[in-house]
Amino acid sequence: MFGASIGRGAMRIINSMVRGLASAGIPPNVLTTIGVMINMGCAVLFGFGEFFWAGIVLIVANLFDMLDGNVARLTGRVTKYGGFLDSTLDRLSDMAQFIGIMVFYSRMTPEHSVLNVALAGIGMVASVLVSYTTARSEGLGVKANVGFLQRPERIVLLIIGALSTWDWSSSHFLANRMPQVLWVLAIGSLWTLVQRMIYIRRELRAIDNSV
């Protein structure tokens, strides 16, 4: 009940913002571009080790990610190019965040970790491939939005890992959870990639056999 109330309150706020932006005549593609620029700022903060503030910025960036599509639908400005631009810049944003994390853990600091760099790299490659397989399969007539760890879940995990890191010296068991998050992102993204490939293979075979 309490969670549902929070959700309804959040949606009212978002809907008010959508109506305001639509009334102001701001093009949806401009909102998409602003969102990716904010994500670039998030990546820079990750690179400098400001994980907590990167988490805050990531929340703001994904607010814009929700606004652009809603504004486009409300104003009747949904276009194929807008969808293409949104999807492409989403991939850029995803990669930028992982690169920022990789830069931080590769630096010669007390938090230096080759393992974390590798996990972030695996997470980045696998998450991009998950999105690629979906886009490629849709071109072949299969919609493959299936799997354990999709983009919304990845973003939530990154936010959790980032917001838990406000003091690198803290020994609290809830502090500095990004390394654990990177394990989940790496393994979960690889698993999701395998799930989608198996699903796409099955669906394409069914299409071939029906011809």
Q: What number of helices (H) and strands (E) belong to the chain?
A: 7, 0
Q: What does pTM read for this prediction?
A: 0.85
pLDDT band at 190 (very low <50, low <70, confident <90, very high): very high
Q: Which two tokens stand for residue 143?
A: 């919609």
- The residues, any chain, with a CB within 8 Å of residue 120's CB and separated by 6 or more, are 98, 101, 102, 105, 182, 185, 186
Q: Indicate the number of domains in the chain.
A: 1
The four Cα atoms 13, 15, 16, 20 give a dihedral, to 10 degrees, of 140
The domain containing residue 108 runs over which residues?
Answer: 2-210
- The residues, any chain, with a CB within 8 Å of residue 105's CB and separated by 6 or more, are 111, 112, 113, 114, 116, 117, 120
Tens digits of per-residue pLDDT, 61-93?
888 777 877 788 878 877 888 888 888 888 899
Looking at residue 62, which CATH number applies to its domain? 1.20.120.1760
Higher pLDDT, 154 or 66: 154
- What pLDDT does residue 4 have? 47
pLDDT band at 145 (very low <50, low <70, confident <90, very high): confident
Asked whether residue 141 carries a pLDDT value surpassing 80, the answer given is yes
Angle, in degrees to the nearest 10, between helices 80-106 and 114-139: 170
- What pLDDT does residue 189 have? 93
Asked whether residue 11 carries a pLDDT value surpassing 80, the answer given is no
d(CA 51, CA 158): 10
- What pLDDT does residue 187 have? 95
φ/ψ of residue 114, rounded to 5: -65, -35
Closest CA to 54 of 16, 98, 20: 98
Q: Which two tokens stand for residue 165?
A: 């890191």
Please give the radius of gyration of the chain, using alpha carbons only, rounded to the nearest integer. Answer: 19
Closest CA to 127 of 196, 33, 74: 196
DSSP state of 148: S
